[in-house]
Amino acid sequence: MKFPSDFLWGVATSSYQIEGAVAEDGRGESIWDRFAAQPGKIKDGSSGAVACDHYHRYREDVGLMRELGVNAYRFSIAWPRVLPKGFGRVNDAGLDFYDKLVDELLKSKITPAVTLYHWDLPQALQDRGGWGHRDTAQAFAEFAQAVARRLGDRIPIWFTHNEMWCTAFLGHANDMYAPGYSNFALALQAAHHVLVSHGLAVPVLREECAKTANIGIAPNIAYPLPATDALSDAEAARRFDGFFNRWFLDPLAGKGYPQDMWECYKGYTPHIEDGDFQIIAAPLDFLGINYYNPDRIADDPAGVLPPYTRQIPDPTLKRTADREIYAPGLYESLTRLHRDYGFPAMYITENGAAYPDAVAEDGGVHDAERIAFLQAHFEQAARAIDAGVPLKGYFVWSLMDNFEWSQGYTLRYGLTYVDFATQQRIFKDSARWYREFIETQR
């Protein structure tokens, strides 16, 4: 495997999953604080209140990155630290934290790549309707401006949103993520406002940031395969693709919502205002993708909600702790998205695996399966570059074990093991493997 010499080899995290310090320096409440406090929402009853205590240990954590040898770090900014009420008064103390983090990264020759929204909406905005309300899109543009005014001179890579599908559907249709609604029409309205918020933020970032800044977005994408040869399953896979991929990517690429899905969503379609599609289609410098697993899709004629599909497990595939493994899906997704949308560049903004890691008697964490997982996916990324995909970087999820949303601390996705009782960090074998891999690439 040979990657371009300027390729970004990075790791990724997000604010609520690692920072802790939820009540410090004027941070407002987020929807995840509220959600996690409700009994039964988080598998182990935990929350991100302490998480990896990264807020206090960020220097040590940048040190881990230096040791890893990565040249890029994707992290997110907690909106409630910057605007405790979601809009209006800017909390400088909250921005100070990211200011120091960015300087520490730059000192370490690590490129900071910032995600503005990785799911921690200020609760004050949720109280006014959250993503279901159009004003949240405007507030997001304010948030983007406050962050860019402070950091825009030093951040070369920006992602407006992480995984809009999860924000919309897991948060508003499935009650799996904050704010925890089960209302499909609300999910589609939220998705629309998220897309509008993206479109409003892009020109703000262009205005406030260095001219060389690259601006894009980081959706999770699906790789849907029909469960059988039946025409009905092929059509179901196509609908699932519309539900997961095209509903978001088509409008970003200036094509509006896909007609077949608009029909599929009959009875649930969102309210759209004149000019929204123009706003959403603000030109982007790149598309990021988060890829983890394939989806085998069957028709579900008895299904009550769009897209009227069922997910069928594939017993022939190996699994991580929580997902099926199918590395070629990464190649297929990259080449397909490049062919269909042709964004000027692409990044793999997340890819990684959870395993039930434990510290062995020799003090190490021997995660050979994660190494095999990463190696197989890196190979597919290299194949995609050979096939002409303008892939510029790869961010492994994650730098360290952290708060895995509704799964709490039961899933370990890190290259670094975290002992949450002591906050000790221990490199897993995969971290050493990644370090050597990066070294051979330079």
Q: Is 14 among the residues that bind ligand FCB (CB under 6 A)?
A: yes
The amino acid present at 162, given as its one-letter code, is: N
Tell the residue number behind the tokens 């330079």, with chain if given: 442
Q: Is 214 among the residues that bind ligand FCB (CB under 6 A)?
A: no
**Smallest distance from ligand FCB to CB 17, Å:** 6
Nearer to ligand FCB, 354 or 385 (CB): 354
162 is in an annotated binding site: yes
404 is in an annotated binding site: yes
Q: How many chain residues touch ligand FCB (CB under 6 A)?
A: 12
Q: Is 397 among the residues that bind ligand FCB (CB under 6 A)?
A: yes
Catalytic residue among 163, 208, 332, 369: 163
Which region among 101-109, 140-148, 162-170, 375-383 touches ligand FCB (by CB under 6 A)?
A: 162-170
Using left for φ > 0, alpha for ψ between -120 and 50, and beta otherwise, residue 298 falls in beta
Within 10 angstroms of residue 91's Cβ, the number of other Cβ atoms is: 18
**Smallest distance from ligand FCB to CB 13, Å:** 8
Q: Is 295 among the residues that bind ligand FCB (CB under 6 A)?
A: no
Q: Is 165 among the residues that bind ligand FCB (CB under 6 A)?
A: no
Pair 17, 51: CB distance under 8 Å: yes
Nearer to ligand FCB, 18 or 213 (CB): 18
Q: Is 405 among the residues that bind ligand FCB (CB under 6 A)?
A: yes
118 is in an annotated binding site: yes
Pair 399, 425: CB distance under 8 Å: no
Active site residue 163: yes
Q: Is 404 among the residues that bind ligand FCB (CB under 6 A)?
A: yes
Pair 190, 132: CB distance under 8 Å: yes
Q: Is 433 among the residues that bind ligand FCB (CB under 6 A)?
A: no
In angstroms, the CA 416 to CA 57 distance is 14
In angstroms, the CA 227 to CA 233 distance is 6
80, 92, 117 from 26: Cα distances, Å: 9, 9, 19
Active site residue 350: yes
Q: Is 163 among the residues that bind ligand FCB (CB under 6 A)?
A: yes
Which among 117, 11, 106, 97 is positioned nearest to 57, based on CA atoms?
97
Q: Is 350 among the residues that bind ligand FCB (CB under 6 A)?
A: yes
Q: Is 117 among the residues that bind ligand FCB (CB under 6 A)?
A: no
Q: What is the CA radius of gyration of the chain?
A: 20
Nearer to ligand FCB, 136 or 220 (CB): 220
**Smallest distance from ligand FCB to CB 244, Å:** 12
* Residue list 407-426, contact with ligand FCB (CB under 6 A): 413
**Smallest distance from ligand FCB to CB 185, Å:** 23
Of the candidates 160, 220, 320, 406, which one interacts with ligand FCB according to CB under 6 A? 220
In angstroms, the CA 9 to CA 22 distance is 30
Nearer to ligand FCB, 14 or 380 (CB): 14
Of the candidates 160, 162, 197, 320, which one interacts with ligand FCB according to CB under 6 A? 162
Using left for φ > 0, alpha for ψ between -120 and 50, and beta otherwise, residue 40 falls in left
17 is in an annotated binding site: yes
Q: At what angle do helices 135-151 and 92-107 cross, to 10 degrees?
A: 50
**Smallest distance from ligand FCB to CB 119, Å:** 7
In angstroms, the CA 94 to CA 78 distance is 8
Burial 418-435 (b: 16+ CB within 10 A, else e): beeeebebbbbbbbebbb
Of the candidates 30, 47, 245, 290, which one interacts with ligand FCB according to CB under 6 A? 290
In angstroms, the CA 273 to CA 119 distance is 25
Tell the residue number behind the tokens 């020759």, with chain if given: 109
Within 10 angstroms of residue 104's Cβ, the number of other Cβ atoms is: 18
Per-residue string for binding with ligand FCB, 355-374, x by CB under 6 A?
A: --------------------
Pair 284, 217: CB distance under 8 Å: yes
Contact residues for ligand FCB (CB under 6 A)?
A: 14, 17, 162-163, 166, 220, 290, 350, 397, 404-405, 413
For the annotated binding site for substrate, the residues are 17, 118, 162, 292, 397, 404-405
Active site amino acids:
163, 350
